[in-house]
Structure 1
Amino acid sequence: MARSDWRRLDESDVRVRPGKGTRPRSKRRPAHADASPAMVTAKDRGRWTCAVDADPERAVTAMRARELGRTPIVVGDRVDLVGDVSGRPDSLARIVRVDERTSVLRRTADDTDPYERVVVANAEQLLIVTSLADPPPRTGFIDRCLVACYSGGLQPVLCLTKSDLADPGELLASYADLAVPAIVTRHDEEPTELRDRLAGRVSALVGHSGVGKSTLVNRLLPDAGLATGEVSAIGKGRHTSVSAVALPLPSGGWVIDTPGVRSFGLAHVNPDDIVLAFPEFAEAAEECPSGCGHLGPPEDPDCALDDVVKSGEARPGRLASLRRLLASRAGLDVL
């Protein structure tokens, strides 16, 4: 080409080879129609253990596919896997989809923490394990777990341990108006009622350290081998579970043991989420002034929930229980 011809060229005539990282990425993603459904049973340092078809005999180690980005994946999640799902040593599958969750157990570190943590997904019920003595029961913690159940779509169940050391009557009476199912256990009897309650279901267990949660799991599953710890001298248990893990039950179903916690933050919960769990008050709550916390006088003097009780449409004990849960959510309880 003559030198004079260069002057007639413009930028559209110049062919530039794109550098690394400048080529447009396709938005099309594989459909993964042949992906295998699975349930997440454990997590450890960026790897997830999954049971293919929720079969505990088909355990697979998987990583999160790049296209999922930072999508959170927790124990109990239903996922789709591709790649090597044989479960052979050193094999690795990829999680390419996470199904919509039917329920979530969430908490924050405290009531001011804006970051919520999903502890368990897709559990049908939450067993709130509380010892009747050594350490003594903490109703504030129970109330907060109830709030988490109502806002997350789980069925709460009280599981009271160490009934050989104290009478459960008083604690059961304080939750009678909430109609929460309760199971009472003791160390010298087989937990038959508990086994029946768990059979065929996905259940999560939560409780302070030292209340006997891991001991119960060891009795339900002798081969689980979960560590148990003694209660410290100041009445607080030592932590024995360090991460959530789903364990298959001989009678079918799964039990998800969660780490022992000392606090249960509820910064992510809206008061209206709790009221919706009480159908007799849900409609009246819509008539409350904007910003009403439904706590009643003196905090919320114009709360419409009192009118429901005055009209005879709800028992006073139900409203008192609801407001106790709302006070717990607002941080007015003592754990």
Structure 2
Amino acid sequence: MSRYDEEARFDRPKRRTRPRTKDRPSYDDAVEGFVITRDRGRYTCWVEDRRVTAMKARQLGRKGVIVGDRVKLDGDASGEQGTLARIVEVLPRTTLLRRSADDDDPVERPLVANADQLVIVAAVAHPEPRTGLIDRFLVAAYEAGMRPLLCLTKTDLGDPEPLLSIYRPLGVESVATHHGGDLTELREQLHDRTSVLVGHSGVGKSTLVNALVPGADRAIGVVNEVTGRGRHTSTNTVVLQLPDGGWLIDTPGIRSFGLAHVEPETLIHAFPDLEELAADCPRGCTHAIDAIDCALDEAVAEHRADPARVASFRRLLASREGRAADYLAGS
């Protein structure tokens, strides 16, 4: 054997590749479900009448899968212990609730998909209501195309009317509750809807969930007597089935809600009466309280628009820009 033949024996074998094909798996046998919780890369999906554990298929790449997503599952979707299916497709979303960490943070964080109602839970006392945060939740609901519902808790500790009077001009529906009270009205509002519960820590969200869904066993926290703030108890977003029909999505307590992704023209779509009047605004008008030649001011002066409704809309605009204090000072 020559020296050259001997060296050839140690050559790295050539890499063999198969030609790419345009054919892709059809997943005709994939079943449809929706994601009810996520934990460390594993997704629990509701399929017909059972829970199925799944992982995201590689072909989805960077495409995110969030709670509420309607998905197609391939593989073992029996739901039996030890089985694992694959999420091979995320179906188009009807709504998407999202936020940013701060108002100047360009990164959007999707929270929940395909919900049709945002239930904003606020206590009338202990802790004191934070209207700025409520406003931000409303902006997020309108931007996502969701119906907002204001749920006031702890009404046995204070009068809900001052808070209700702030949001009445916006046409936001509301319900009032207290610990151990009748939840019939709230149940009617939740019936056959997919509702997301959001609220500041300590407002009684978990208490509501446990009363609405027997066996939910969501952790209940307490309010710090010194700071007046609640402690985070629920740490993950989870979907629960309501006994009388519908789904309830419980989220962890939130202390901040950035709205960097919301544009003024998006927000005004939620106010058809004001949007029609704003059509006469000059190009680029922000509709804010300090906007020059805004048609909303003219409409108010001519009694063609409800001043309280315009003021509420502008308060939401100011909240979106982190300028709620500026708005209150100038109003």
Q: TM-score, normalised by structure 1?
A: 0.89
Residue 192 of structure 1: CA displacement?
1.6
SS in 1 for 2:258: coil
1:33-52 matched pairs, under 5 angstroms: 33-52=28-47
2:7 aligned partner? none
Q: Work out which of the residue numbers 196, 217, 238 in structure 2 matches 1:245.
A: 238
User: CA offsets, 1:262-317, max 9 Å, x none?
Assistant: 101001111111111111222443443444321032xx112222233344432111
1:303 aligned partner? 294
Alpha-carbon spacing, 1:28–1:138, altered in 2? closer, same or farther (3 Å): same
Q: Work out which of the residue numbers 17, 21, 28 in structure 2 matches 1:26.
A: 21
1:104 aligned partner? 96
SS in 2 for 1:175: helix
Is residue 332 of structure 1 aligned with residue 318 of structure 2? no
Q: Work out which of the residue numbers 171, 174, 186 in structure 1 matches 2:166.
A: 174
Q: Work out which of the residue numbers 140, 146, 149 in structure 2 matches 1:148.
A: 140
Which moves more between the two structures, 67-76 or 162-171? 67-76
Q: Structure 2: which 5+ runs fail to align?
A: 1-12, 326-331
- On the 8 A contact 2:296/2:305 being kept in 1, the answer is no
2:8 aligned partner? none
- On the 8 A contact 2:202/2:231 being kept in 1, the answer is yes
Q: Work out which of the residue numbers 223, 241, 264 in structure 2 matches 1:231.
A: 223
Which moves more between the two structures, 35-44 or 275-284? 275-284
Q: Give the ranges of 4+ consecutive aligned residues of structure 1 lying more than 4 Å apart after TM superposition.
A: none
Q: Structure 1: which 5+ runs fail to align?
A: 1-16
User: CA offsets, 1:163-214, max 9 Å, x none?
Assistant: 0000001110111111101010011313121112112111000000000000
- Kindly provide the amino acid, as one letter, of the partner of residue 208 in structure 2: L
1:265 aligned partner? 258
Alpha-carbon spacing, 1:19–1:125, altered in 2? closer, same or farther (3 Å): same
Between the aligned partners of 2:258 and 2:269, the Cα distance in structure 1 is: 20
Give the paired residue count. 312
Alpha-carbon spacing, 1:18–1:138, altered in 2? closer, same or farther (3 Å): same
Between the aligned partners of 2:60 and 2:282, the Cα distance in structure 1 is: 42
SS in 2 for 1:281: helix
- Kindly provide the amino acid, as one letter, of the partner of residue 26 in structure 2: A
- On the 8 A contact 2:95/2:144 being kept in 1, the answer is yes
Residue 18 of structure 1: CA displacement?
6.0
Between the aligned partners of 1:240 and 1:320, the Cα distance in structure 2 is: 35
Between the aligned partners of 2:324 and 2:20, the Cα distance in structure 1 is: 53
1:319 aligned partner? 310
User: CA offsets, 1:101-123, max 9 Å, x none?
Assistant: 11111111110111111111111
Is residue 280 of structure 1 aligned with residue 273 of structure 2? yes
- On the 8 A contact 2:154/2:177 being kept in 1, the answer is yes
- Kindly provide the amino acid, as one letter, of the partner of residue 101 in structure 2: A
Between the aligned partners of 1:19 and 1:312, the Cα distance in structure 2 is: 78
Between the aligned partners of 1:33 and 1:149, the Cα distance in structure 2 is: 35
- On the 8 A contact 1:246/1:255 being kept in 2, the answer is yes
Percent identity for Structure 1 against Structure 2: 57
- On the 8 A contact 1:109/1:263 being kept in 2, the answer is yes
- On the 8 A contact 1:296/1:302 being kept in 2, the answer is no
Residue 240 of structure 1: CA displacement?
0.6
Alpha-carbon spacing, 1:296–1:35, altered in 2? closer, same or farther (3 Å): same
Between the aligned partners of 2:23 and 2:277, the Cα distance in structure 1 is: 48
SS in 2 for 1:229: coil
Between the aligned partners of 2:58 and 2:195, the Cα distance in structure 1 is: 31
